[in-house]
Amino acid sequence: MAAMENSPAWPDLIYAHFKRVGIRQVGYVPDAGHSRLIDACKGDPEIADVVLTTEEEGVALAAGAALGGQRCALLMQSSGVGNCVNMFSLLHNCRFPCLILVTMRGQYGEFNPWQVAMGSITEATLRQSNFLIHRIDEAADVDDMAGSACDMAFDGDLPVAVLLSQRLLGRKKWER
C-alpha cells in the first residue's frame, strides 16, 4: 500500500470550485491521491459520488450528466487515462463538457515502475484527444488553475484535464 508523505489542503480548494460551478456528479476509481477530495464529495448530499469499475465509464457518466443538465467531474490516475482513449471521441464529437482531474504517476519519486509508461504519455494522450490541459506542480497554483479549468470546461462546453503532478501530491512510499 502507498502512503502519502503529506496531506495538503489543496483538495479543499478544488472541492470549493466544484461547489462554485455546481458539479452534481463525481465519478472516480478509488485513488490515494484523490482521497481527500473523494471524501469531501462523498460527504456532500448535493453531489452524487459514483465509484467506477473502469475510468472509461466516467466518460459516459459525464456525457449522461450533460444530457441531463448536470455537471460532472471525473477523478482518475494517469494510468486510467489510457483506458479512456476510445471513449474520448464521444466528448469531442458531441461537444460535451468534461472536467477530469488526473493524479499523475510515473514521475517524481515513483516507487512502481509499471506506472512510468502511461505517466510519460498522459499529457500527450489527452492533447491528442482534444483536451485543454492545466498542469499543477505547486499547491500555490491549485486555486487559480482549478478554477480556470472548471470555468473553461463548463462555460465553453470543452474537455479540460487538470494534471496534478506527483510533486504536488507528495512523494509516495511503499508500506508493507
In tens, the pLDDT along 96-149 reads 999 999 998 757 666 766 665 677 779 999 999 999 999 999 999 999 999 999
Q: Does position 165 have pLDDT exceeding 60, yes or no?
A: yes
Question: Tell me, what's the pLDDT at 173?
Answer: 65
In the chain, domain spans: 2-174
Considering the four listed CATH numbers 3.30.10.20, 3.40.50.970, 3.90.78.10, 2.40.50.180, the one that applies to the domain covering 2-174 is 3.40.50.970
What is the model's pTM? 0.90
Q: How far is CA 19 from CA 12, 25, 147, in A?
A: 11, 11, 11
Task: Quote the CA–CA distance of 55 and 42 in Å, as a whole number.
Answer: 18
Determine contact, residues 72/26, Cβ cutoff 8 Å: yes
